[in-house]
């Protein structure tokens, strides 16, 4: 089977980009012929010109559409699989597939379809004002903290919704979690039969470590407000337990970290694995609806119990008291108490870590991921 993947790489990377690249790699390893069409936001200048280019491409990117059409003609895929296309790939590649009778699968890596700024977050609080065709709220509230950018993302969402660029031209949607699937059915008008949950591939070490030997509480990922970094820092202060934060050398960092919180900058997966193996537990304090929680799942694969916000997909990723603990979103005191409980109870820490490892092995293997995607692709081809 020949599959053409199309996606826009985020500036600063992140879990969704990592997940997309891993999907492409494992499909190739399992015998599929895969071609990739990609654009990177890193190529945009970090100035007013870059913002203008992003805005223009979001509405219509003639170069991307032309190049994608050429790749369709030369590669002749059986299926096109799109991921994030904002802003440089352009949703206008989808009608090309329809005209050539090439079925399209789309992984919804975030909440772009229901929130112009993706996170459903305003002033640190969950916000759903834009759902149901009310994208203008992103302008009225200036959700990007930059009025021209807020106007562009609002126009983009209005355009794809009113012209039905996704719902009309995508044959099947893929959600990374049951929470995201249910959310998109309810708020993006996707038919239940046209969306399937396929968890991302989680890179698993051969053996898990004993978390009780860890010397710090770990967080890995973007250092941005929606990740609950403010809650993490306050919990570290309250608990008086060592916390360490890891982010990629190219990862997005928009918040300053105090000197009493250790920082690890990782350059590859080997360094990230070493970071996990030195920890006693992992925290995921996000204050937005995580679509899956890839870093937390990777930590679970290393045998670490996870303390996560009771919010969005995280409530299913972590089973409270079984493979981790849940705390109230944004409540630093509650997070601090859960961290102290695990820190002071080695037996509980070990038991939850072992259950976390078992869940990772049984739920998020590459083999399962490939089989579920293959089923989606085959069903699309059969319907064609």
Q: Give the sign of the dihedral formed by CA 9, CA 10, CA 13, CA 14.
A: negative
Structure-model confidence comparison of residues 257 and 142, the more confident one = 142
Here the contacts of 234-238 (C-beta below 8 Å, separation 24 or greater) are: 234/332, 234/336, 235/283, 235/285, 235/332, 235/333, 235/335, 235/336, 235/339, 236/260, 236/261, 238/332, 238/333, 238/336
Q: Residue 42: count other Cβ atoms within 10 Å of its Cβ.
A: 12
* pLDDT reading at 244 higher than 90: yes
Spatial CA neighbour of 217 closest among 325, 116, 371: 325
Specify the DSSP class assigned to residue 207.
Answer: S
* Main-chain phi, psi angles of 16, to 5 degrees: -65, -40
Does pLDDT of 58 surpass 90?
no
Cβ neighbors of 50 (< 8 A, separation 6 or more) are 44
Q: What percentage of residues in the chain have a pLDDT greater than 70?
A: 99
Residue 256 pLDDT grade (very low, low, confident, very high; cuts 50, 70, 90): confident
More confident residue, 103 or 54: 103
pLDDT of residue 20: 93
Is residue 67 scored above 70 in pLDDT?
Answer: yes
In DSSP notation, 143-191 reads TTSSHHHHHHHHHHHHHHHHTTTTTTT-SEEEESSHHHHHHHHHHS---
C-alpha span between 308 and 294 (Å, rounded): 12
| Residue 50 predicted with pLDDT over 80 | no
Q: Which pLDDT band holds residue 13 (cuts at 50, 70, 90)?
A: low
What average pLDDT does the segment 360-371 reach?
94
Provide the terminal-to-terminal Cα distance of the chain, rounded to the nearest Å: 14
Answer for the pair 251, 222: CB distance below 8 angstroms, yes or no: yes
* Beta strands 172-175 and 306-309, pairing class: unpaired
Tell me what pLDDT residue 12 has: 65
- Determine the pLDDT at residue 42: 80
The DSSP 8-state label assigned to residue 33 in this structure reads: E
> What is the separation of C-alpha 221 from the centre of its chain, rounded to a whole number of angstroms?
11
Instruction: Give domain limits for the chain.
Output: 2-113+166-201+365-383, 211-363
What's the pTM?
0.92
Note the CATH number of domain 2-113+166-201+365-383.
3.40.50.2000
Peptide bond into 281 cis (omega under 30): no
Percent of the chain with pLDDT over 90: 82
Query: Is the Cβ–Cβ distance between 278 and 300 less than 8 Å?
Result: no
Instruction: Confirm if 290 and 313 have CB atoms less than 8 A apart.
Output: yes
Structural contact between residues 110 and 291, judged by C-beta atoms closer than 8 angstroms: yes
Least confident residue range of 33-47, 68-82, 228-242: 33-47
pLDDT at 99: 96
Q: Say if 2-113+166-201+365-383 and 211-363 have the same CATH topology.
A: yes
- 186-242 per-position pLDDT tens digit: 999 999 999 999 999 998 999 998 999 999 999 999 999 999 999 999 999 999 999
User: Thinking of the domain 211-363, which architecture would CATH place it in?
Assistant: 3-Layer(aba) Sandwich (3.40)
Is 88 buried (19+), middle (13-18) or exposed (0-12) by CB count in 10 A? buried
pLDDT at 259: 82
H-state helical runs in 192-279: 229-239, 269-277
Taking the C-alpha atoms of residue 84 and residue 17, their distance in angstroms, rounded to an integer, is: 9
Per-residue model confidence (pLDDT) at position 153: 94
Report the 10 Å Cβ neighbour count for 120. Answer: 23
Per-residue pLDDT, 250: 76
What is residue 142's DSSP assignment?
T
Determine the Cα–Cα distance for residues 69 and 6; give it in Å rounded to an integer.
12
Signed CA dihedral, 23, 26, 28, 32: sign only:
negative
DSSP one-letter string for 190-202? --GGGEEE-PPP-
CB contact at 8 A, 226 and 111: no
- What lies within 8 Å, CB to CB, of 183 at 6+ separation is 111, 114, 289
pLDDT per residue as tens digits for the range 130-166? 999 999 999 999 999 999 899 999 999 999 999 999 9
Exposed/middle/buried for residue 47 (C-beta within 10 Å: 0-12, 13-18, 19+) = exposed
If you average pLDDT over residues 29-50, what whole number do you get? 86
């Amino acid at each position: 089977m020949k599959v053409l993947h199309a996606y826009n790489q985020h500036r600063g990377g992140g879990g969704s980009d990592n997940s997309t690249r891993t999907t492409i790699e494992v499909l190739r390893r399992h015998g599929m012929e895969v071609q990739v069409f990609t654009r990177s936001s890193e190529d945009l200048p970090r100035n007013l010109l870059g913002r203008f280019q992003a805005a223009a491409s979001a509405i219509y990117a003639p170069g991307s559409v032309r190049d994608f059409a050429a790749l369709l003609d030369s590669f002749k895929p059986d299926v096109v699989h799109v991921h994030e296309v904002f802003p440089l790939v352009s949703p206008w590649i989808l009608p090309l597939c329809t005209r050539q009778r090439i079925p399209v699968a789309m992984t919804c890596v975030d909440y772009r379809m229901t929130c112009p700024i993706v996170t459903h977050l305003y002033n640190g609080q969950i916000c759903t004002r834009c759902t149901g065709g009310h994208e203008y709220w992103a302008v009225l509230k200036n959700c990007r903290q930059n009025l021209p950018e807020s106007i562009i993302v609002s126009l983009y969402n209005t355009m794809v919704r009113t012209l039905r660029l996704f719902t009309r031209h995508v044959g099947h949607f893929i959600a990374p979690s049951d929470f995201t699937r249910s959310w998109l059915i309810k708020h993006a008008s996707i038919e239940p039969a046209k969306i399937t949950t396929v968890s991302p591939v989680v890179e698993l070490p051969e053996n898990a470590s004993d978390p009780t030997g860890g010397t710090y509480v770990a967080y890995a990922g973007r250092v941005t407000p929606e990740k609950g970094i403010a809650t993490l820092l306050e919990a570290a202060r309250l608990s008086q337990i060592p916390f360490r934060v890891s982010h990629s050398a190219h990862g997005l960092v928009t918040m300053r970290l105090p000197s009493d919180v250790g920082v690890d900058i990782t350059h590859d997966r080997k360094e990230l694995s070493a970071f996990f193996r030195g920890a006693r537990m992992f925290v995921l304090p996000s204050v937005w609806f995580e679509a899956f929680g890839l870093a937390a799942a990777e930590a679970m694969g290393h045998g670490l119990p996870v303390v996560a916000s009771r919010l969005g997909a995280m409530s299913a990723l972590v089973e409270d008291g079984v493979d981790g603990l849940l705390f109230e979103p944004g409540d630093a005191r509650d997070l601090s108490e859960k961290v102290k409980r695990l820190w002071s109870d080695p037996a509980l820490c070990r038991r939850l870590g072992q259950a976390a490892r078992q869940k990772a092995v049984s739920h998020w293997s590459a083999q399962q991921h490939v089989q579920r995607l293959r089923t989606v692709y085959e069903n699309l081809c059969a319907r064609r």
